Amino acid sequence: MSCAMLLQCRHSCKKGNRLLRMLATSYSSFVKDKAYINGSWVAAANGNTFSVINPANEELIGTVPDMGIQETQSAIDAAHVAFDTWRKTTAKERSAILKKWFSLIESNKTSLAELLTKEQGKSMADSIAEVTYGASFFEWFSEEAKRVYGEIMPPSTADRRLLIMKQPIGVAGIITPWNFPIAMITRKLGAALAVGCTAVIKPAEDTPLSALAICQLGEEAGLPAGVVNVITTSSKNTSDVGKLLCESPRVATISFTGSTKVGKILLSQSASTVKRVSLELGGNAPFIVFDSANIDKAVTGAMACKFRCAGQTCICANRFLVQDVIYDEFVKRLAEAIKNQLVVGNGLDEGVNIGPLINEAAVNKVDDFVTDAVKKGATKIVGGNKNSLGKNFYEPTLLVNVTTDMECMKDEIFGPVAVIIKFKTEAEAIKIANSTDVGLAGYFYSQDLGQVWRVAEELQVGMVGANESLLSAAEVSFGGVKQSGLGREGGKFGVDEYLEMKYICMGGI
């Protein structure tokens, strides 16, 4: 999503959160207590369920089926059968369904955003932005459906014709995270459906309701039975369900967004069937501020990049690297912005822009990072403690005097904690930035044109924000290098993960 789009969403939400909630009286119509298999809303075979809890106040939002191997196999079988028909539909037919689905999401944006805030905890501004972003993938891929082109090559002999055609790969197993429960489904699913694949979706156990809500709208858009299936499962059954998706010969590809640790497990399990795998894994994004930077813009970018979704995004700034000449000034301005601009609370409350973390374990992990840093010499400038609002809240935090041996520099923080390290030269900044085994996103601010080109080329990441901190959009490719994943999502290359190339040699011409 563009910076302008996100800021517009946040501005409109800030002006009228209360009005938005009044309009969103129908969010409860999206709260399902069944999963979706082969065009039907179904319970678990054994009747088991698990609860979906609002992380802001620990209130029960709803219950969903706790499904396992049996239901997952049924979903795979349904998708396998549906593929034989869906792959033969025209690109125009698939495009029409995706366009209608996009329109339905747009017209239900406020209701979906309220459900998302209740389920995940992010502010209404962030939820509105995610729903808008998520819908954009269905709009984008509705057009890309018509642009899957083959090629004809000149032959070496006159009696042959050589051509390449692209065909849908088959059933896609889609495993999505809790931090963007709508957008991570639409980014994968839109591409898969556009080219003729079917899907089995396993949403995160913390946020299954948003996935079911999107599925409900897909049904209204005219999606045939079996083309999309959603399996809801608790953490107890997650590993078994994931293993079956990876090892089933009827599943042609796995698309996963989540931690590097889990991604490696899924990659290993998929090897048994030599399955296509696309992975969007963890990051440890550097955010470099050079002495030539516009400090005001750098601070604005830092706030948007670090604290969106309470710092729980895979591409948020994790390590701030600031050149020594402007270090003190940048720290001063960032501290002021954190104190004056961030309001912690229930994401549904007016003015709140920092919600809870997803659960208490996430809070404890963030607090351990801060404790380790302070023990090793870091200084708390702002925050640095668990918040009294509830067990899932953590104070927006700024740490300085940070060094490379601290855990917060080595691992992804995934919380509202900004850590700043000082550097002297461009070469030093690049060395620190590239010192990790992951490489998803990286950011830097500089007004030196030569430096902009050099640093953009030298950063070992899949995506670079140069004087820009909000870089996601449906029309561009999203993905990382090193242990941050395989493949790309979104943009014109997003469909490639769901296509096979077939070479045809015609003789006797």
- Count of CB atoms situated within 10 Å of the CB of 45: 13
Q: How far apart are CA 150 and CA 141, in angstroms?
A: 18
At 459, which CATH number? 3.40.309.10
Contact 119, 181 (CB under 8 A): yes
Phi-psi region of 471 (alpha: psi -120 to 50; beta: other; left: phi over 0): alpha
At 195, which CATH number? 3.40.605.10
Q: Which of 13, 314, 316, 408 is catalytic?
A: 314
Q: Which of 144, 280, 395, 412 is catalytic?
A: 280
First to last CA, the chain: 50
Q: How far apart are CA 506 and CA 493, in angstroms?
A: 28
* β-strands 397-400, 417-423 pairing: parallel
Based on the fold, state whether residues 105 and 62 are members of the same structural domain: yes
Based on the fold, state whether residues 297 and 256 are members of the same structural domain: no
DSSP string covering 339-405:
HHH--BS-TTSTT--B---SSHHHHHHHHHHHHHHHHTT-EEEE--SB-TT-TT-B--EEEES--TT
Contact 466, 453 (CB under 8 A): no
280 is catalytic: yes
314 is catalytic: yes
The residue behind tokens 């795998």 is: 277
Based on the fold, state whether residues 227 and 376 are members of the same structural domain: no
**What range defines the domain where residue 464 resides?**
285-473
Long-range contacts of 153-159 (CB under 8 A, 24+ apart): 158/509, 159/507, 159/508, 159/509
Please state the separation of Cα 156 from the chain's center in Å.
46
Based on the fold, state whether residues 233 and 332 are members of the same structural domain: no
Based on the fold, state whether residues 449 and 305 are members of the same structural domain: yes
Based on the fold, state whether residues 91 and 212 are members of the same structural domain: yes
Look up residue 125 and give its two tokens. 């501004």
Contact 455, 426 (CB under 8 A): yes
Q: How far apart are CA 246 and CA 360, in angstroms?
A: 30
Look up residue 350 and give its two tokens. 């007016």
On the CB side of 307, CA atoms within 13 Å amount to 27
- Does residue 148 sit in helix, strand or coil? coil
Q: How far apart are CA 33 and CA 43, in angstroms?
A: 8
Answer whether residue 11 is part of any domain.
no
Answer whether residue 221 is part of any domain.
yes
- Nearest to 184, CA basis, from 134, 120, 121: 134
Q: What is the pLDDT of residue 210?
A: 97
Based on the fold, state whether residues 371 and 431 are members of the same structural domain: yes
Q: What is the pLDDT of residue 29?
A: 87
Q: What is the pLDDT of residue 196?
A: 98
Q: What is the pLDDT of residue 14?
A: 44
Q: How far apart are CA 4 and CA 258, in angstroms?
A: 27
Based on the fold, state whether residues 292 and 305 are members of the same structural domain: yes
Q: How far apart are CA 377 and CA 8, in angstroms?
A: 40
Phi and psi angles of residue 117, each rounded to the nearest 5 degrees, phi first: -65, -45
Instruction: Note the helical H segments in 145-234.
Output: 183-194, 208-220
Residues sharing a CB contact under 8 Å with residue 133, sequence separation 6 or more, in sequence order = 1, 5, 183, 472, 474
Q: What is the pLDDT of residue 18?
A: 45
Q: What is the pLDDT of residue 459?
A: 98
Q: How far apart are CA 429 and CA 401, in angstroms?
A: 16
Q: How far apart are CA 377 and CA 487, in angstroms?
A: 39
Answer whether residue 20 is part of any domain.
no
* β-strands 161-168, 171-175 pairing: unpaired
Based on the fold, state whether residues 294 and 237 are members of the same structural domain: no
Look up residue 331 and give its two tokens. 């720290």
Based on the fold, state whether residues 226 and 370 are members of the same structural domain: no
* β-strands 438-439, 417-423 pairing: unpaired
Answer whether residue 21 is part of any domain.
no
Answer whether residue 254 is part of any domain.
yes
Q: Please report how the helices 327-341 and 295-307 are oriented relative to each other, as an axis angle in degrees rounded to 10.
A: 50
Q: How far apart are CA 395 and CA 311, in angstroms?
A: 11
Answer whether residue 29 is part of any domain.
no
For the chain, 509 residues long, the average pLDDT of each consecutive 10-residue run is: 43 43 62 97 98 97 98 98 98 98 97 97 97 98 97 96 98 98 98 98 98 97 98 97 98 97 98 97 97 98 97 97 98 98 96 97 97 98 94 97 96 97 98 98 98 98 97 96 97 97 96
DSSP 494: G
DSSP 87: T
Domains in the chain: how many in total?
Answer: 2
Answer whether residue 251 is part of any domain.
yes
Answer whether residue 14 is part of any domain.
no
Q: How far apart are CA 492 and CA 125, in angstroms?
A: 28
Look up residue 38 and give its two tokens. 């082969």
Burial of 85 (0-12, 13-18, 19+ CB in 10 A): middle
Based on the fold, state whether residues 188 and 237 are members of the same structural domain: yes
